[in-house]
């Protein structure tokens, strides 16, 4: 146990750069306060989104209050937090447990598997606390203040905050441990793991949506149940039942609260026990040999000569390098591609299972909504370019290999064009999704599809160039596990927020200025607005590239 605690302390120091921060504070205050400034800028940048969420929380509280169940606001926030912890936790746990670079140092030490597992788990858990703060605390505060709760509420609230991510995170760990053990025997580990990961998530989401279905013919009883005492809470908590227990523990008072609180505590404890039990049996089996890769077939002289003779331009060589690295690194692939295959599924399954899609399909097929639907399709491509961290972590992902980019005789501008080419190619992965969407719902004509593609590509331009610009200005190269290049990289968040602001500007231009002028003006406005914004970031990047490539130290 002591070893686990010591190791956890070390992991937190390394993982959150605490030792480095202390060093910078003493020896390079400018860098330290610069870092603090960036954190403040990020907080300020996400403030508008946070305020929107706060209003939503207050709105939910008001509506739920009218139904006599204001506590549903807590359940909602807890379900949302737990969902985020679980979905992202799967990738984070896999990365921290199996792909961290310090594992070859830790495994030969006289430590139990549970010591390493526990320490790594602590690291992921602390970052999850930071993740759920903006989602859970507003609900806790809004409910507490508006309902005039006493000291006990706040104390239990703090306890529940600390318990909240435990269950989804131990669940993610308990799913990952056997997955990695089973897939470690495969020759193509990375591929099998990626398929296993996506399959597992799809299964969990599908099962959840199946369980959430309202039984046909029982709609009236269903609504009645919802309006009954705590009905909304239990409906909301079907995705994550412990949220209902936590809500009752916080709000009911008396024996009921103690019972539910004890249930939550017991389940969290059981989750940890299950994790350590499986960890002792499966962790090393999944880990040991995870760095082994099977030896591929030896190339014959002819094939080797053929491969060597294939030449391409430096731009395409860089784009190809980026694509190969992304495809072959499960964590990058999951973050940049996998999540965007899953997101539409997550969004569509509940709507489809509740029969909610039919009126939506009727609406989007009507001619009046056509402009909106076409712009929606284009916006999907733009948002995919913005949300996939492919561009906003492009420099950071090079990590310690960035020395190669610095010494090769390829002008930085050309290297950046290679990164842009790769980011656009990735964005085009939205096309199959759009085609499926078109076939199932909107039935775009070929002309409309081309229009959507053209506008989508234009919208991807400012998203990609701004994301690359942000990452070029402050790349995070000193990481020890590939997940950190994305997860602990503030650039991903900064680029999303700044890119979102760009899209908002285009929306304002179209909605306030061009909407009345007709469809053609709207399309032209979106296209030209996006290209103009994209060019600003692109030209700024080209202007700064030489100096940045010279100054970035590896």
Partner 1 sequence: MIEIQGLSKSYNKGAVKAVDDLDLHVKGGEIFGFLGPNGAGKTTTIKMMVGLLKPDGGTVRINGFDIGKEPLRVKESISFVPDNPEVYEKLTGIEYLNFLGDVYGVPGPLRREKISYFLNLFELTGAVNDLVQSYSHGMKQKLVLIGALLHEPQVFILDEPMVGLDPKSSNNLKKYMREHCDSGKTVFFSTHVLEVAERLCDRIGIINQGRLIACGTMEELKTQSRSKESLENIFLELTE
Which residues are near partner 1 by CB under 8 A? 27-28, 291-293, 295-299, 304-305, 307-314, 316-318, 320-321, 324-325, 328-329, 399-401, 403-404, 406-411, 550-551, 553-554
Q: Shortest gap between Cβ of 147 and partner 1 (angstroms)? A: 53
Tell me whether residue 307 or residue 512 sits nearer to partner 1 (CB atom).
Answer: 307
Distance CA 393, CA 416 (A): 13
Q: Work out how close the CB of 469 gets to partner 1 at its nearest, in angstroms, rounded to a whole number.
A: 21
Nearer to partner 1, 71 or 329 (CB): 329
- Cα–Cα dist 316/313, whole Å: 5
For partner 1, the closer CB: 543 or 550 = 550
Which one, 21 or 531, has the nearer CB to partner 1? 21
Tell me which residue of 450, 393, 473 sits closest to 426, measured CA to CA.
Answer: 393
Output DSSP code: residue 312: -
> 213 with 219: CB under 8 angstroms?
no
- C-alpha pair distances (Å), 211 with each of 74, 226, 241, 344: 22, 16, 12, 19
Indicate the residue among 20 and 316 with the shorter CB distance to partner 1.
316
Smallest distance, partner 1 to C-beta of residue 197, A: 17
Query: Nearest distance from residue 29's CB to partner 1, in Å?
Result: 10
> Tokens 């992202």 sit at which residue?
88
- C-beta separation of 74 from 140 below 8 A: yes
Q: Assess contact for 392 and 492: CB atoms under 8 A.
A: yes
- Could you tell me the smallest distance in angstroms from the CB atom of residue 545 to partner 1? 12
- The full 3-state SS of 150-174, as one line of letters, equals CHHHHHHHHHHHHHCCHHHHHHHHH
Burial of 248 (0-12, 13-18, 19+ CB in 10 A): buried
In whole angstroms, the minimum distance from the beta carbon of 194 to partner 1 comes to 13
- Shortest separation between residue 407's beta carbon and partner 1, angstroms: 5
Distances (CA, A) of 261 to 140, 165, 243, 244: 16, 15, 11, 10
Residue with tokens 């070390």: 10
Least spacing, CB of residue 399 vs partner 1, in Å: 8
Report the phi/psi class of residue 430: left, alpha or beta, with left for phi > 0 and alpha for psi in -120 to 50: alpha
For the packed helices 490-508 and 370-387, what is the interaxial angle rounded to 10 degrees? Answer: 160
Specify the residue for token string 């503030």. 490
For residues 399 and 525, which CB has a smaller minimum distance to partner 1 in the complex?
399
Q: How many CA atoms lie within 13 A of 16 on its CB side?
A: 16
Q: Tell me the C-alpha distance between 159 and 173, whole Å.
A: 22
Non-local (6+) Cβ contacts of 315 within 8 A are: 414, 417, 418, 421
Closest approach of partner 1 to the CB of residue 353, in Å: 38
In the bound state with partner 1, the residue whose beta carbon lies nearer, of 1 and 308, is 308
The most distant pair of C-alpha atoms in the chain lies apart, rounded to whole Å, by 80
Looking at the Cβ atoms of 27 and 367, the one nearer to partner 1 is: 27
Output the smallest distance, CB 310 to partner 1, in A: 7
Minimum distance of partner 1 from residue 328's CB (angstroms): 4
Identify which of residues 17 and 411 has a Cβ nearer to partner 1 in the complex: 411
Question: Would you state the structure tokens that stand for residue 60, as one six-digit string?
Answer: 């939910």
Angle at 481 between CA 430 and CA 88, to 5 degrees: 50
């Amino acid at each position: 146990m002591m070893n686990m605690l010591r190791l956890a302390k070390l992991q937190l120091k390394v993982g959150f750069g605490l030792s480095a921060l202390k060093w910078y504070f003493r020896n390079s205050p400018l860098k330290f306060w610069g870092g603090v400034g960036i954190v403040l800028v990020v907080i300020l940048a996400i403030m508008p989104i946070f305020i929107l969420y706060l209003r939503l929380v207050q709105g939910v509280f008001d509506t739920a209050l009218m139904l006599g169940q204001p506590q549903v606001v807590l359940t909602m926030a807890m379900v949302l937090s737990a969902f985020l912890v679980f979905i992202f936790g799967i990738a984070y746990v896999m990365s921290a447990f199996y792909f961290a670079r310090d594992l070859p140092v830790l495994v030969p030490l006289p430590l139990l598997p549970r010591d390493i597992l526990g320490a790594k788990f602590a690291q992921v858990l602390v970052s999850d606390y930071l993740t759920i703060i903006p989602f859970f605390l507003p609900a806790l505060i809004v409910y507490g203040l508006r309902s005039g709760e006493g000291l006990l509420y706040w104390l239990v609230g703090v306890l529940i905050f600390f318990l909240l991510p435990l269950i989804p995170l131990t669940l993610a760990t308990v799913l990952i441990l056997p997955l990695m053990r089973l897939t470690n025997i495969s020759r193509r580990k990375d591929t099998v793991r990626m398929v296993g990961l996506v399959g597992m998530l799809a299964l969990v989401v599908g099962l959840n949506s199946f369980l959430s279905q309202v039984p046909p013919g029982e709609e009236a009883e269903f609504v009645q149940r919802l309006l009954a005492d705590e009905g909304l809470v239990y409906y909301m908590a079907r995705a994550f039942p412990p949220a209902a227990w936590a809500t009752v523990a916080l709000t009911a008072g008396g024996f009921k609260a103690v019972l539910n609180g004890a249930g939550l505590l017991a389940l969290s404890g059981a989750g940890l026990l299950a994790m350590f039990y499986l960890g002792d049996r499966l962790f090393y089996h999944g880990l040991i040999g995870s760095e082994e890769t099977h030896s591929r077939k030896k190339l014959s002289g002819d094939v080797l000569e053929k491969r060597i003779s294939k030449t391409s331009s430096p731009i395409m060589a860089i784009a190809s390098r980026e694509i190969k690295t992304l495809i072959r690194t499960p964590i990058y692939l999951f973050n940049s591609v996998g999540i965007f295959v899953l997101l539409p599924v997550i969004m569509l399954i509940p709507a489809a299972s509740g029969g909610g899609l039919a009126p939506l399909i009727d609406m989007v097929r009507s001619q009046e909504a056509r402009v909106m639907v076409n712009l929606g399709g284009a916006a999907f491509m733009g948002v995919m370019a913005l949300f996939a961290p492919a561009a906003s972590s492009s420099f950071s992902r090079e990590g310690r290999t960035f020395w190669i980019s610095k010494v090769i005789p390829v002008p930085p501008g050309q290297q950046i064009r290679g990164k842009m080419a790769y980011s656009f190619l990735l964005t085009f992965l939205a096309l199959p999704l759009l085609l499926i969407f078109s076939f199932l719902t909107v039935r775009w004509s070929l002309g409309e599809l081309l229009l959507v593609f053209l506008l989508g590509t234009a919208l991807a331009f400012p998203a990609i160039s701004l994301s690359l610009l942000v990452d070029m200005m402050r790349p995070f190269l000193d990481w020890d596990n590939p997940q950190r290049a994305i997860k602990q990289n503030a650039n991903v968040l900064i680029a999303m927020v700044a890119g979102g602001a760009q899209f908002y500007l285009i929306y304002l231009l179209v909605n306030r200025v061009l909407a009345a002028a007709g469809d053609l003006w709207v399309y032209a406005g979106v296209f030209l607005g996006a290209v103009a914004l994209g060019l600003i970031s692109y030209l700024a990047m080209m202007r700064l590239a030489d100096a940045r490539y010279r100054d970035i130290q590896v």
